[in-house]
A = this chain, B = another copy of it.
């Protein structure tokens, strides 16, 4: 209590209050402090390189598009030969803050995740061996891997480590909400503040908390009312084998949520208003009024941070030795 009185006094004195909001359930995004820059530059190239797919057309950035909040903004992703994916592509932004990767948490970390889509027949439809063959045939890649990892041979661990290192840089600090958390008291409008109050008092923060405003627990989709999903995905039970984990999904981050539509693991909610309404009813047994809903949405839009800013990577060209992609080969 003494701290708060002091904070209030400092506030009236116009002094910065970097610690004033420290008892909030959401913390500011902090950029990573230990980053291997050479690995990041290599990982960025790999992230944008469609030659890690069978078709030569799909890269990590196809479905986790860094121009669009690290998502593809469609309900479920498009894979090799235009296959329809089973689940909504989660944003790659701030994904280093997740307790695990994928909606069902089947990958422990970003490195473990990165190899998945390359070899998934419904996504990039390649194999790790073929992807390594492509990289190995390109001298500029060979040199860069050698420079970064100090080894003569490229292996899949290096590929996924580099992609993961790049992804660690994809954080979005400096949202208006973070500015408010860090003491800029006029960073939010009255409606946005009211929305945040509703977000806290209604119980949303029970799951959507921490720096990522989510991403740190698995929770059941449909606590009070069952969720009628458009998708057959069963969530965490596919990993643990436990029936009690059915429809448990990783709580998605709400950072940059204005950019990561459509929402839910099946991408069924097109708008933030719809998502807030459904979450209120199914998870909290609460029907937000239209005015309340609008305020919560206004608050959520303050979570959009500085988007990753970097130069589009230029990829080293294939050589005569590089296996050509197979965009139209029979599956």
- Please state if B325 and A74 are interface contacts (CB–CB under 8 Å): yes
Q: A66-B312, A312-B312 are in contact. Are A262 and B324 (CB under 8 A)?
A: yes
- Please state if B317 and A259 are interface contacts (CB–CB under 8 Å): yes
- Please state if A67 and B48 are interface contacts (CB–CB under 8 Å): yes
Q: Which of A241-285 contact B (CB under 8 A)?
A: 258-259, 261-262, 270-273
In the bound complex, CA of A96 to CA of B65 (Å): 28
Most B CB contacts (10 A, CB to CB) among A65, A84, A309 go to: A65
- Please state if A261 and B307 are interface contacts (CB–CB under 8 Å): no
A81, chain B: closest CB distance, angstroms: 5
Q: A66-B312, A82-B82, A317-B258 are in contact. Are A324 and B270 (CB under 8 A)?
A: yes
In the bound complex, CA of A57 to CA of B258 (Å): 19
A167, chain B: closest CB distance, angstroms: 15
The one of B49, B66, B273, B318 that contacts A261, using a Cβ cutoff of 8 Å = B318
Is the CB of A311 closer than 8 A to any CB of chain B? yes
Interface residues on A, range: 35 or more
Is the CB of A203 closer than 8 A to any CB of chain B? no
Is the CB of A12 closer than 8 A to any CB of chain B? no
Is the CB of A3 closer than 8 A to any CB of chain B? no
Please name all residues of chain B whose beta carbon is closer than 8 Å to the beta carbon of A62 when the two chains form the complex: 57
Please name all residues of chain B whose beta carbon is closer than 8 Å to the beta carbon of A310 when the two chains form the complex: 311-312
Please name all residues of chain B whose beta carbon is closer than 8 Å to the beta carbon of A259 when the two chains form the complex: 317
Closest Cβ neighbor of A51 among chain B residues: B73
In the bound complex, CA of A308 to CA of B314 (Å): 9
Is the CB of A327 closer than 8 A to any CB of chain B? yes
Q: Which of A179-216 contact B (CB under 8 A)?
A: none
22 interchain pairs (CB within 8 A)?
A48-B67, A50-B65, A50-B68, A55-B74, A55-B78, A56-B73, A57-B62, A57-B74, A57-B78, A66-B312, A73-B318, A75-B327, A81-B82, A84-B327, A258-B317, A259-B317, A261-B318, A273-B320, A307-B314, A308-B312, A310-B312, A311-B311
Known pairs A73-B318, A73-B325, A84-B328; list 13 more (Cβ under 8 Å).
A49-B67, A50-B65, A67-B312, A67-B313, A67-B314, A67-B315, A258-B317, A261-B318, A270-B320, A273-B320, A308-B312, A310-B311, A312-B312
A interface, CB within 8 angstroms of B: 48-51, 55-57, 62, 65-69, 72-75, 78, 81-82, 84, 258-259, 261-262, 270-273, 307-315, 317-318, 320, 324-325, 327-328
- By Cβ-Cβ distance, the 5 closest A-B pairs, closest first, are A82-B82, A307-B314, A259-B317, A271-B320, A67-B315
